[in-house]
Amino acid sequence: MKKVIKAVFLDVDGTLLSEKDRSLSKDTEESIRRLIQKGIHIILVTGRPHHLCEEFKHLGIDTVISANGALVTCRGEIIHKSILSSTMVREFSHFAASQGHTLSYFTESLGMNGTCRTDHRVTDALRETLGLMEYPDQIMTLDEEIYCMCLYANEEETNQYKERFSSLRFVRFHPYVCNVLEAGEVSKSVAAQIVLTHLNIPREETMAFGDGENDIDLLTYVGVSVAMGNGGERVKQSADYVTLKASENGITHALRHYKLI
């Protein structure tokens, strides 16, 4: 039976983009254009900072959930943002510097704390999560609005932060990177609810694609959930359907399965 779908949420890295080389296939691009032509809203929902989603504007996508749900824009308008307290950011940054760990700060763009510029664990993670081949610029000031921080540390190293900053949430999306979030209401699913309210679309008429553990809450929220073949087992278990890998045009495969294209 064909599903009534009015909005599709797409994770970016490892979902929209190939898990192998972060490329966007012509097949996936064409599928997205066909959905938009049918009047279906396409919403990017990603852990990326907002400015690293600009490259998808040419597809006709005008709604973006970035920073793991902390910043939401629709047709160029900010409809939701969650700002980290400057006091917490400074305390956390000071502790990270004392431990020799890298931090990234998601503002309208992306800045780093300047630590471990040549550490392969950091440079590999930047490439694997954001497709960045070079270490970004150091942030100039901590006084601007910061929506999310990313801590570059493994699980054991992160435990000391969890003990010291017990009020914060640490959402791991890579073996060496986790989001640092202050508000309990910051998540992809909460941001999706805000978007759907803004667009007046019921959640039952939505679909989402994801491959990472930070996509699970979104996949369990929408009407139809699709896990990429390159996703982890927990992601696949939370989805209604497991499609092919992103590098195998998994989005197109699932859209055809549900007869949306």
The top-level CATH class assigned to 7-81+186-258 is alpha beta
Q: How far is CA 225 from the centre of its chain?
A: 16
pLDDT, average across residues 94-99: 97
For 66, phi then psi, to 5°, come to -120, 175
Buried b (16+ CB within 10 A) or exposed e, 197-234: eeeebeeebbbbbbbbbbbbbbbebbbbbbbbbbbeee
pLDDT for 1: 47
Domain map of the chain by residue range?
Answer: 7-81+186-258, 86-182
- pTM equals 0.89
User: Which has the closest alpha carbon to 235: 252, 258, 219?
Assistant: 219
Report the mean per-residue pLDDT for the chain: 94
The top-level CATH class assigned to 86-182 is alpha beta
pLDDT at 246 over 80: yes
pLDDT at 85 over 60: yes
29 and 257 Cβ atoms separated by less than 8 Å: no
pLDDT at 189 over 80: yes
